[in-house]
Structure 1
Amino acid sequence: MSPKTKLLTPSSQLPLYTKRILITAPRNYASRLSAQIIDKGGLPIFMPTIETCYLSNYSELDAALRCIDQFDWIAFTSRNGIIAFFERLHDLGLSLSQLQNCQLCALGKDIEHLLSVCGRVDLIPNESSPGGIIAELALMEGIFGKKILLPTPEVIGIPEPNVVPNFITDLQSLGMQVTRVPTYITQSVDKSIYAGELNLIQQGIIDMIAFSSTAEVTSLMAMFNSINDFEHCLIACFGPYTAANARKLGINVSVVSQDFSSFAGFVNAMAEFYSSCQ
């Protein structure tokens, strides 16, 4: 047997064994989250409640990109924002050198993607959240009056979560000049395609619902008549911000990942919860 060959742990010995965990994240995130759940012995069930797609109108983004050298900072709060931003930069025939005057920041695993597309990240917050970015900027001298660009989603079909609006308010409180620009679309998914999954939830067959964002929470809630329709399911949230918003909406949250820099931390929190219940 090759030294690199690794035998599998019996699934019955894994912490999420037999647990059916519903994933509401968009498809491009769901695959990474499901891999972590499978690694812990769980049974992921896909039900993206939101989807991300390209803009129908790029006028605002194009205008910002054509004068990108006027910004001092660019803050990316999602991988989708990074992908859409750099794709459009390329489509317009603009080079990465246009960003040489901008300081760039991103969160968690998104940092790796930002490094792969442009080769640098100038601010990596200790806490993987917009609040973490604020905390780092607040410690810097000369930040007052600096111009910062926020590539954000255009939210359709559901109320916009408070994450980006709160981030903008906090940046303005530091004296920064904030320009928010739509970079991609986040929209709810038609519940008619999920008759089977919704039935599984109502029957109590789903053990846990894993939310990775507030938008997923509000979109799922819109698919039911009442929160009571999924009261049999435990709820896990990817970090304290999503958990806080879920609780404001009346949802009882059982699992909150304290390490929300990656999905590995999220699934570890689920595993620890079930292990503590044994």
Structure 2
Amino acid sequence: MNPSGKPLKGKHVLITRGGEQGEKFCMDVASTGGIPHMVPLIDFRMYKDPNESYYFRQLGEYDWIIFTSKNGVHYFFEHLKKYVDDYSLLQHSVQFAVVGEKTKEALDRYQLASCFMPHVFTAEEFVREFFQNEFVAKKVLVPKGNLAKSTIADGFRSQGISADEWIIYETFYPVNQVGRLIPLLKEDVLDVASFTSPSSFNHFMKIVKQQFLTQHVSKLTFAAIGTVTKRAIENEGYQVGICPEKFTIDKLFQEICRYFQEKEGKDLHEF
């Protein structure tokens, strides 16, 4: 059996997230004996919403600004710096809410406190817990990406609360990564493929189908960061072997380690 510090020894892990989070994921995998293959299948860029000036003028009217992702925080303030210099002024006029820990950490960097975060990091749970806590809101703003669903805004509207959705960034597929993924699949190099969003999995499947690699993909263990991504994978007919209870990349990595530790222990026991 591998030493406890090397649960991924010899395992090839596909990491479909880029940037700082992807780099850290790679280092974590390598530190536990695994071989990381970072092939970012989605990327993000600023989006110019035609209603941007309206949302900015309305900032003082919102009771809550709700962030659903780390990217949402980053791009919101990238847009905002065109209009204001001192973000701390917002703290006195509006309350902030976040869906998860990483989003909260991103907001903390701007020295702005989040007043609410659900125990389970999903949009559905956010809505349920927010109203369970009996917070007061008349008008809210949800800065988001172009592919994000309207679950939170719809939840507020169903309660008679005005909810604006400001598209501040867009997701796109980095086509230059395709050539790196194909040989990994064709040669059956990978043991596990990890996905941190439905978008990354959808791009993965687009490549798989275009290159007729379905047979190779069926051999993989799939790891999903949360229930929404898990559902996207299952809708394509694949079983998800790894999904953490807490929907963060760190927890996803830990769950991958636990999965292979348990699998190795079971294999040895059967032998």
TM-score (norm 2): 0.86
Equivalent residue number for residue 215 of structure 1: 199
- Aligned-pair identity in percent equals 20
Q: Distance in 1 between matches of 2:52 and 2:216?
A: 40
One-letter amino acid matched to 1:64: Y
In the alignment, does 2:109 pair up with 1:137?
A: no
In the alignment, does 2:30 pair up with 1:38?
A: yes
**Cα 1:18/1:11, change in 2 over 3 Å:** farther
Match of 1:15 among 1, 4, 7: 7
CA contact (8 A) 1:68 1:99 kept: no
CA contact (8 A) 1:11 1:17 kept: no
CA contact (8 A) 2:44 2:170 kept: yes
**Cα 1:240/1:169, change in 2 over 3 Å:** same
Q: Distance in 1 between matches of 2:194 and 2:65?
A: 30
Match of 2:119 among 118, 126, 129: 126
Equivalent residue number for residue 4 of structure 1: none
**Cα 1:127/1:22, change in 2 over 3 Å:** same
TM-score (norm 1): 0.84
In the alignment, does 2:142 pair up with 1:153?
A: no
Equivalent residue number for residue 269 of structure 2: none
In the alignment, does 2:227 pair up with 1:240?
A: yes
CA contact (8 A) 2:9 2:34 kept: yes
Q: Distance in 2 between matches of 1:36 and 1:223?
A: 27
One-letter amino acid matched to 1:217: F
CA contact (8 A) 1:138 1:174 kept: no
Match of 2:67 among 69, 72, 76: 76
In the alignment, does 2:76 pair up with 1:91?
A: no
Q: Distance in 1 between matches of 2:6 and 2:155?
A: 42
Q: Report matched runs for 1:261-276 at 5 Å.
A: 262-276=248-262
| Alpha-carbon distance, 1:275 to partner | 1.0
Match of 1:61 among 27, 52, 72: 52
**Cα 1:174/1:44, change in 2 over 3 Å:** farther
Q: Distance in 2 between matches of 1:131 and 1:94?
A: 34
| Alpha-carbon distance, 1:208 to partner | 0.7
Q: Distance in 2 between matches of 1:256 and 1:193?
A: 25
34-43 or 113-122, larger mean C-alpha shift:
34-43
One-letter amino acid matched to 1:41: G
In the alignment, does 2:17 pair up with 1:25?
A: yes
Q: Distance in 2 between matches of 1:12 and 1:117?
A: 38
Structure 2 gap segments, 5+ residues each: 265-271
Q: Distance in 1 between matches of 2:4 and 2:183?
A: 27
In the alignment, does 2:189 pair up with 1:205?
A: yes
CA contact (8 A) 2:194 2:222 kept: yes
**Cα 1:11/1:41, change in 2 over 3 Å:** farther
Match of 2:239 among 239, 252, 257: 252
Structure 1 gap segments, 5+ residues each: 1-9, 155-159
User: Between Structure 1 and Structure 2, how many residues are aligned?
Assistant: 258
In the alignment, does 2:161 pair up with 1:176?
A: yes
